Chain A
Amino acid sequence: MFSFCTDPSTLPQWQWFACYLTTATHFAFYRSFLMVILLLAITAPLALGMGLLGAMATRSRIWPVSWLGKGYVSIVRGVPDIVFFMFVPIALGQGIEWVFHHIQCPDWDQPIRQGNDFIVCREAKVPPVGAPAWVRNVYAFGMAVVAFALVFGAFAANTLYGAMQAIPRAQVETAEAYGMTRTQAFRRIIMPQMWVYALPGLSNIWQILIKATPLLFLLGLQDAVYWARELGGQKTSLYTYPPPDWRVWYFLVLLCFYLFLTWGSERIFARLNTRLSRGQATAAGERMRKAAA
């Protein structure tokens, strides 16, 4: 990175650190923090969407739809989440390959599960055979996103369903008395107001989502945990920079990163809560009205 970094073994203390912290692998480490943020940014809206769908399905009057919603929520919530994070990507991957296998190689006569192997024809491999590394990474990342969205969608569905039920019944009845249909009442009365009831639950889920992101490491992605282990481990003098066992410092950095994330989002949610409480028929809304008057 810097011009004085040519021979690390002769450098004074601070320059050595400047060079050490700007190696290519360290930049990969810094980028992996962006990956965590990216995962959060993609997963959160997806999970919210899944949650909205699940909550609407649960409220539905058509019983197969409502059962589907209830089943989805209670299955995901009943099983330890870690099982889901490990199960979904591998099961989904095999499922996709199985479908492609039946579409593209209909005349394949051998069984797919042979002993302990899962064998599909060459054309059905996902990602395709010989795909570049970045395609594989994006695919693995996409699987992780799906797993996260599925699990956190169920949590969000539960919260949003509760929030929809928490809207005072009289308001919906008033809307119906004005001649609104069920859909119109939902869109005009329930949707705009439910967020204030949902916010405490959603902020909780968001915090849990943040704290679930290091599990990406278990799915084989090169995330911050992976790099912290790689870079912190003791190196032999074969390496240009042979530090001793510094894992504890790298994990301290990670710990602080997550503390900062949770602390920051707590503050943002507190602000959002005040904003959404304005003009609402709740204790907080009433207090704000009185303070203003």
Chain B
Amino acid sequence: MRSCAESFEAYFLRPLGRDYGANLLPRGLDITFCDQVFLIAGGLIWNIYFAALAIFFGFGLAIAVAVAKFSETPWIWRPAAAFVFVFRGSPLFIQFFFFYSAFVLLPRAGVDIPLGFVTLTVQTSALTTAQVGGLIVLVLNTTAYSAELFYGALRSIPKGDLEAADAYGMSGFVKFRRVVFPSMLRLAWPSYTNEAIFLTHSTTLVFLSAFPARQQSGEAFYYARYFVDQTFNPFVAYPLVALYFVALTLAVIGLFGFVNRYLNRHLPRERRRPIRFRPQYIR
């Protein structure tokens, strides 16, 4: 039997790949409690990777889509609304399958895009890995959900704020940057916090479906499932992964609460809206 220190050494960084720990995962009767604790904890690296990058890219894209959807020009708002409808109306689980099977069909050598004088070769082989392809699906998904939140916030910006901006002679991008954007962000922030939490939770779906876990390097829930398959005992690995996710959720709430205080710093204390955690579950 391994000691706890040994299993920490062998498995804590194992989710990064074979070079960072034991060659194989523990199997059958060889599995100790510490193995489960450390391997599942190590898997959280990927959950954080997917969540952080998807929020990072999704945030900017979502604002663009929300502004587009709020536009009065039909050929701008219609595509934006359709994008939001498709990604919010279908299960993320199916989206993973669909995009994976589409990415697999791309030629392995890369796609040549002729740009007249120069030909751009796009590397496509990375798209079939979870770390790139799965991330793209998550980014598209969170973009749609957050765009709907920002769109709702755009619609509920107080009329007086916009009139005041007009009275100061602001227009175009200056008005957006100084008045519309801060108001929108402040209004949407509590629900955006929830969106970030759901996104964190839905990173568990990446390896569940289509994208393969190369070299058995996956996220926390992938390892929890692996242990339950091996030990046929759901009462250790699943509570562990649930515990880790509660901790991760609290970290997200703390981080976003910090930003929320910053966004509301000009308001009197009793008018600040605290973030309420409203779990919204699967997508």
Q: Which residues of A contact B (CB under 8 A)?
A: 77-83, 86-87, 90-91, 94, 113, 115-118, 151, 155, 204, 208, 210-215, 217-218, 225, 228-229, 232, 245, 247-248, 251-252, 254-255, 258-259, 262-263
Contacts and interface: CB of A to CB of B under 8 A. Distances in A.
Contacts of B281: 81, 151, 155, 208, 212
**B interface, by DSSP: helix, strand, loop or mixed?**
helix
Given A82-B282, A83-B242, A215-B93, A252 B98 contact: yes
Nearest to A247: B101
B46 interface: no
A251 B98 contact: yes
Nearest to B204: A82
Interface of B: 28-29, 31, 85-86, 88-95, 97-98, 101-102, 104-105, 201, 204-205, 208, 221, 224-225, 228, 230-235, 238, 241-242, 245-246, 249, 279-283
Given A211-B91, A254-B94, A263-B85, 16 more contacts: A80-B221, A80-B242, A82-B204, A83-B242, A86-B238, A91-B235, A116-B29, A116-B231, A117-B232, A118-B232, A118-B233, A208-B283, A248-B101, A251-B94, A254-B98, A259-B89
Contacts of A232: 101
Given A81-B201, A82-B201, A218-B208, A90 B234 contact: yes
Contacts of B283: 208, 211
A200 to B, nearest CB: 13
27 contacts: A78-B246, A80-B204, A80-B241, A80-B242, A81-B282, A82-B205, A82-B208, A83-B241, A83-B242, A86-B225, A86-B234, A94-B234, A116-B231, A116-B233, A117-B232, A118-B233, A204-B280, A208-B280, A212-B91, A215-B93, A215-B282, A218-B208, A251-B97, A254-B97, A258-B91, A258-B94, A259-B89
Contacts, number: 119
B29 A79 contact: no
A251 B204 CA distance: 20
A116 B242 contact: no
Nearest to A82: B204
Given A87-B234, A115-B29, A212-B91, A78 B97 contact: no
A89 to B, nearest CB: 9
A261 to B, nearest CB: 8
A113 B31 CA distance: 15
B276 to A, nearest CB: 12
Nearest to A249: B101
A166 to B, nearest CB: 16
Contacts of B90: 211, 255, 258-259, 262
Contacts of A94: 234
Nearest to B28: A116
Nearest to A228: B97
Contacts of A247: 97, 101, 104
Given A116-B231, A116-B233, A248-B105, A212 B282 contact: yes
Contact of A78 (B105, B238, B279): B279
Contacts of B93: 211, 214-215, 217, 225
Contacts of A77: 279
A83 B221 contact: yes
A54 to B, nearest CB: 15
